[in-house]
Amino acid sequence: MKVVILAGGYGQRLLPITNNIPKPLLPIANRAAIEHLILHLTRLGFNEFIIQLHYMSQAIIETINAMKLINVSIDYIIEEKSLGSAGCLRLSKHFLNDPFLLVNGDILFDGDIRDAIKIHFESKSKFSMFVKQVDKCGSYGNVKIKNGQIIDFIEKPNEGSEISKLVNTGIYIMNPELLIQIPENRYFDISNDLIPLMLKNNIGLNAFHLEGYWIDYGTPRRFAKLNVDWIEEKLNLPIPAVQILPRIFLGEHVTINNNVKIVSPVIIGNDVTIEENCVIGPYVSISSNIRIDQGSVLHHQAVFQKYTLNYENKFVHNSIKKISKEIH
C-alpha cells in the first residue's frame, strides 16, 4: 500500500519560525518532524511514499533524501500553486491505482494502524478516517460516528456546537475511485470540501479509533506540548540520541564546557556546544548546530537556530549563536 504524505502547507500558525523552516522540517527530538513520521510508517511495513509538496519543497526533498532509506521508494509531487489537501491529490492520480494511506504531514503518532487497514479492505470500504478522543475539539475536525460510520462532520466547531469528543486525526485510507470527486486544478480541502461532499453523496465513511499517542503540532502551543511529551517519553518512538542519565539525551558531537549544570528532562541535538557556566533544564530541547552562550540559563523552552519557543508558547528571537546555515 502506498502512503501519500501532505507536506505542502505554509505553516502560517507557526510563524515566524516557518519563514525559514517549512513545517515538516521543524526539529523535534533531534530529527525533522517528517523524518520521525516516515520512519514510524516504515517500521509498520510501508515502503512506497508519495510526498505532496509546495512551500519550500526543495529543502524537504533534500532532508528526506539525506535519510538514505533502504528498500523504500519515494516520489515527490510539487504543486506550482497551492491546491489544498485534496486538490493536490489529482496531481498524483497516475500513481494511485489502488487504495492508499493518506497522512497529514504535520502530525505524529506512535500507534499501529495495520489491523484497521485490513478491516478497510475486508469491508470493501471506499474511505476510512482515523479518529481520536480529545477534551477540546475547537481546532480540529469534529466527527460524529454511529456503528463505525461517520454520520456528521464539522470542521473547527465553535464552542458549544461540538457534536462529539472525537476529532479527525488527519490519517485516512482512501480508494482511488474517489479522486473523481476532486475537481482538477482548483483549491479543494479534505475537511472543508471533500468530506462534506462525500457525506452529501451518501458515500460510506468508516471511522477507526487511533490507539496510542497522536498530536497535530500545527500551533505553537501544540508544538510546545509535543516537545514536553517527547522529553517525558510519552511517545513510543525512538529518540536518535544517547541517554546519558535518566531523561537526559545527547546527540552526536556535543561539547559541554566547564561548570555546566543539566537538569532533566533535556534533549540536546547534534553538533551543539554549550559554553561555560550554563544551566540547561528542566524541560529544554536544543536543536542541532547551536552554540549556547556562556552563562545562559534555559528552562521550559525549545531552542532553534533563530527562535526560542518559550514557556508562554511564543516564538521569540533569541541571542543563541548559530553555527550552521539557515534553510533558504
Write out the chain's pLDDT in tens, 328 residues.
999 999 999 888 888 888 888 999 999 988 999 999 999 999 999 999 999 999 999 999 999 999 999 999 999 999 999 999 999 999 999 999 999 999 999 999 999 999 999 999 999 999 999 999 999 998 899 999 999 999 999 999 998 899 999 999 999 999 999 999 999 999 999 999 999 999 999 999 999 999 999 999 998 889 888 988 988 889 999 999 999 999 999 999 999 999 999 999 999 999 999 999 999 999 999 999 999 999 999 999 888 877 777 777 767 776 544 433 333 3
User: In this structure, is the dihedral angle defined by the CA atoms of residues 25, 221, 262 and 290, taken in order, positive or negative?
Assistant: positive
Do the Cβ atoms of 252 and 271 come closer than 8 Å? yes
Neighbours of 25 (CB within 10 A): 22
Instruction: Provide the greatest CA pair distance for the chain.
Output: 67
CA neighbor of 302 nearest in space, from 34, 16, 94, 288: 288
Whose cell is 470540501? That residue is: 193
β partners of residue 321: 291
Strands 301-303 and 307-309: antiparallel
Contact 126, 178 (CB under 8 A): yes
Query: Residue 308 is placed in which grid cell?
Result: 526560542
Contacts by 197-200, CB closer than 8 A, 24 or more apart: 198/127, 199/150, 199/151, 199/152, 199/153
- pLDDT value for 318: 62
pTM check: above 0.75:
yes
Residue 227: the pLDDT is 86
The torsion defined by the Cα of 195, 200, 202 and 203, in degrees rounded to 10, comes to -20
Task: Assess contact for 162 and 173: CB atoms under 8 A.
Answer: no
- In 110-195, the DSSP E strands lie at 127-133, 141-146, 149-155, 166-174
| Spatial distance between the Cα atoms of 319 and 311, rounded to a whole number of angstroms | 17
| Nearby residues of 138 by Cβ (< 8 Å), 6 or more positions away | 156, 157, 158, 159, 162
Rounded Cα gap, residues 187 and 165, in angstroms: 29
Say how far apart CA 277 and CA 76 lie, in whole Å. 46
Rounded CA-CA distance 288/25 in Å is 12
**How crowded is the C-beta side of 193, counted as CA atoms within 13 Å?**
14
Residues near 115 by Cβ (< 8 Å), separated by ≥ 6?
Answer: none
pLDDT of residue 328: 31
What pLDDT does residue 321 have?
A: 43
Closest CA to 317 of 307, 325, 326: 307
